[in-house]
Amino acid sequence: MFAKKNGKLRVACFGYNGANNTGSEAKLLSTLTTLKKVVGDRIGELTILTINEENQRRYLQDYPNAKMLEIGPWMTFKNPSFMIKGGFDLFLLSEGSTFIDHFSSLFLMMFCGAAMIEKIEGHKVVAYSNDCGHLKPMNQRILRETLNRIDLIMLRNPDAAARMREYGVTKDIHVTADGAYEYPLPPAEYRQKLFAKLGLKPGRKPLIGIAPKEFFFWPIDFRPWGPKEDLYLYPFYHVWQKGGKESSQRYVEQSARHADWCVETYDADIVLISMEHMDYPPTKRIYDAMKHKDRAVIVSSDEYIVDDIISVLSILTALVTTRYHACVLSSCSAIPMIAVSSDTRCEAVFRELDIMDMYIDYVKHPDPFPKIANLDEQLIEMTRNLMKRKADLKRRIKAMHPQFVERAQQNEKIFADWFRENF
């Protein structure tokens, strides 16, 4: 049994925060809700890992005393004293995509290195409702050596658990669901004011959401210099593979053609949803490439918070998403959807929903090239199918949502039982 002498604990949430990433922030907020319920006034100091403190504070108005462990240039902590003071009594991984390496291996290595330091110091480490994708052999080994030493592992879907066991993790793995499934819709008055601001009129015309991303400027890699627009955090830059910019332009043009077709075929209005800061450039380029710009609006996570994004998702007739958390946050409203995917996250959701016929395996990293040449034609055909089956798809998602919520609620139960035993 481990506890601080004064009964207060230093708690850290390690995640991809402060990037105006709607999904990461929704997951962090649901994780903090659990911490507040389970640990309560035992929290002496709460620290949040972030890449931008100003962005982070937008989301943490209910946690004004939370300290920020900000990452600066060279991927070092701007204030390393947090780690020097003896680490954290409870070190919790809140980021869902840490164990997916085609973006970069940096975040996986940062977490695994910090987790091993905490274990050496005798502290507790929890992987809280995470994913696990395809990993390079070296990262499989790092994962195996780290996670077999930490204290509690919860993963958010059966696919992730099977993959982690395949990589050699022998410690118990609890299969739950992403905490963002529990994220509540804001009150009706809040939503109506938002819709008025955006000029959205639910129920008047079909409303089709498109949540794009940039598929082709990965991984993030060390470069002593590079184009300013490709800078991530110095000295790390997004890397465009050969032909990547051409593939990106085709994706933008094909997405714009599909959006225009939706306007012309269904008299639909289009909502282009930028789920995180890095999604805004391709989102804006799709908007600029549309013929019917007057029928489209951009909702960007740089301007709108999780409450706003989930509100917009709730009124869609249909959703075309590249983003996992657009699937999750639209689930409570049973929005029929199509996925244009590059990794295992959307795939896991669509497999559990048994709607893989609405899933497009677009890019399979580490191969950076699209597997689908005629994306617009496939999207048009799928959208026709979706609109014909809209009622059935809504019923299926509505029936599955309580199961996802029940599994998400297991995060708190499992964590609470573990916490009582260890603190």
Sheet with strand 9-14: strands edge to edge: 67-70, 43-50, 9-14, 90-93, 124-130, 152-155, 174-175
- pTM for this prediction: 0.95
Nearest to 45 by CA among 11, 4, 69, 15: 11
pLDDT score at 44:
95
Distance (Å, whole) CA 279 – CA 407: 29
Helix (H, G, I), strand (E, B) or coil at 201: coil
**What does the CA dihedral 173, 180, 14, 8 come to, rounded to 10 degrees?**
-90
Q: What is the mean pLDDT of residues 156-181?
A: 97
The one-letter amino acid at 259: A
> What is the per-residue pLDDT for 138?
97
* Short-list 115, 98, 94, CA closest to 107: 98
Distance CA 146, CA 109 (A): 10
So what's the pLDDT on residue 3?
47
Q: Please write the tens of the pLDDT for every residue from 265-278.
A: 999 999 999 999 99
CA-to-CA distance for 172 and 152, rounded, in angstroms?
8
Rounded-to-integer distance, Cα 359 and Cα 142, Å? 31
377-418 residue pLDDT tens: 999 999 999 999 999 999 999 999 999 999 999 999 999 999
- pLDDT, mean of residues 183-188: 97
Q: Which amino acid would we find at residue 375?
A: L
The two three-digit tokens of residue 120, written as one number: 């050496």
The band of 77, judged by pLDDT with boundaries at 50, 70 and 90, is low
Fold of 188-388: Rossmann fold (3.40.50)
Q: For the chain, what percent of residues have pLDDT higher than 90? A: 89
Cα(319)–Cα(143) distance, rounded to whole angstroms? 34
Q: How far apart are CA 198 and CA 347, in angstroms?
A: 31
The SS3 assignment for 37 reads helix
Residue 71 pLDDT level (bands cut at 50, 70, 90): confident
pLDDT at res. 233: 87
Lowest average pLDDT, out of 54-58, 63-67, 82-86, 328-332, goes to: 82-86
- Residue for token pair 């282009």: 272
Say if CB 346 and CB 324 are below 8 A apart: yes
Instruction: Kindly list the distances between the CA atom of residue 265 and the CA atoms of 7, 43, 274, in Å, as whole numbers in the listed order.
Output: 63, 55, 24
> May I ask the CATH architecture of the domain 9-182+404-422?
3-Layer(aba) Sandwich (3.40)
Q: How confident is the model at residue 365 (pLDDT cuts 50, 70, 90)?
A: confident
Q: How confident is the model at residue 194 (pLDDT cuts 50, 70, 90)?
A: very high
How far apart (Å, rounded) are the C-alpha atoms in residues 212 and 271? Answer: 11
Q: How many CB atoms lie within 10 A of CB 159?
A: 20
Q: How are strands ordered across the β-sheet holding 296-300? A: 296-300, 269-274, 207-211, 318-321, 337-341, 359-361
What are the distances in angstroms from CA 332 to CA 185, 206, 211?
8, 19, 17
* Both tokens assigned to 133: 């994708």
- What is the pLDDT of the chain when averaged over all its residues? 94
Rg (the chain; Cα; Å): 21
Give the start-to-end residue ranges of the domains of the chain: 9-182+404-422, 188-388
**pLDDT score at 350:** 98
The reply to whether 9-182+404-422 and 188-388 are identical in fold is yes
Label residue 74 by pLDDT band (50, 70, 90): low
Q: What is the Cα–Cα distance from 348 to 380, expressed in whole angstroms? A: 23
- Does 147 score more than 80 pLDDT? yes
In the predicted structure, residue 25 carries a pLDDT above the cut 80: yes
Per-residue pLDDT, 264: 98
- When pLDDT is cut at 50, 70 and 90, the band that residue 4 belongs to is low
Helix (H, G, I), strand (E, B) or coil at 115: helix
Confidence class for position 1, pLDDT limits 50, 70, 90:
very low
For 236-336, where are the E strands, in sequence order? 236-238, 269-274, 296-300, 318-321
Helices marked H in 43-105: 53-59, 81-84
Residue 2: the pLDDT is 45
What's the pLDDT at 102?
Answer: 87
What is the per-residue pLDDT across 238-257, written as a single tens digit (0 to 9) for each?
999 889 999 999 999 999 99
Average of per-residue pLDDT across 306-319: 98
Quick one: average pLDDT of 293-315?
98
pLDDT at 338: 98
H helix intervals, 121-199: 137-147, 158-166, 188-198
- Kindly list the distances between the CA atom of residue 254 and the CA atoms of 259, 266, 423, in Å, as whole numbers in the listed order: 9, 18, 54
CA distance 215 to 370: 9
pLDDT at 191: 98
H/E stretch holding 312: helix 306-313
pLDDT exceeds cutoff 80 at 84: no
Q: How confident is the model at residue 94 (pLDDT cuts 50, 70, 90)?
A: very high
pLDDT value of position 5: 53
Residue 93 has pLDDT above 90, yes or no: yes
In this structure, how many other beta carbons lie within 10 angstroms of the beta carbon of residue 305?
17
- Percent with pLDDT over 70 in the chain: 96
